[in-house]
Copies of this chain bind each other. A is one copy, B any other.
Amino acid sequence: MSRPKNEEKLHAIHRVVLKLLVRSGFSSVKMADIAKEAGVASGTLYIYYSSKEGLLNALFVLTKQEIAQHMFRMFDPKEDYLISFRNMWFAYMQYCIDFPEKMLFVEQFLYSGLITAENIERTELFFEPLNTFLDTGRKKKYLLNIDAALLKASMAGSIHELVKWMHSQQIKPNNSLLENLFRLQWKGISL
């Protein structure tokens, strides 16, 4: 009976938030600018979300989910441990290289003071399989006997920082660079 929401508009809004964030930082993500750049009226944003905070929180959850899906897509627990580890590492690294704006947004929003505690919890659950995977590695003596959370933090942190650096310097990583980085990481955490 009624006019349907235009899904393409919603995607445009999401795209633009990330674009503005990368272009000039969190402080420049304004509702009016999002609307203008996405080609919609500012009031339209409030049809999809009840507030700026709501919009950003939803985008955060969505993006985290996408990242997790991407990372675990080809994960096969029957596969060799190193191969699995490698696959996930490259999947995550490649995702960050392909979509630095998503990685940046997720990383920054986490400390913005706008994220809800509920969404922090909710999105951590997406990565539960990774914790399990790392714990298994520890138990089976593939990995150093260090808390999975620490291993995860160490890996994610260095990937993030690397990608931010490459992004800021407009450096396109080649395969051999990525291989070197992976080797460096694996060498560090494996027994």
Contacts and interface: CB of A to CB of B under 8 A. Distances in A.
Given A111-B26, A111-B108, A154 B161 contact: yes
B161 A149 contact: no
Contacts of A39: none
Contacts of A155: 158
Contacts of A104: 111
A144 interface: yes
Contacts of A149: 165, 169
A114 B161 contact: no
Interface string A17-47: 0000000111110000000000000000000
A184 interface: yes
Given A25-B111, A153-B161, 11 more contacts: A24-B113, A25-B113, A146-B177, A149-B169, A154-B161, A154-B162, A156-B161, A157-B157, A157-B159, A157-B160, A185-B188
Interface of A: 24-28, 104, 108, 111-114, 144, 146, 149-150, 153-162, 164-165, 169, 177, 180-181, 184-185, 187-189
22 contacts: A25-B111, A26-B26, A26-B27, A27-B113, A28-B113, A104-B111, A146-B177, A149-B165, A150-B162, A153-B162, A153-B164, A154-B162, A154-B181, A156-B161, A157-B157, A157-B158, A157-B159, A157-B161, A158-B158, A184-B189, A185-B188, A188-B188
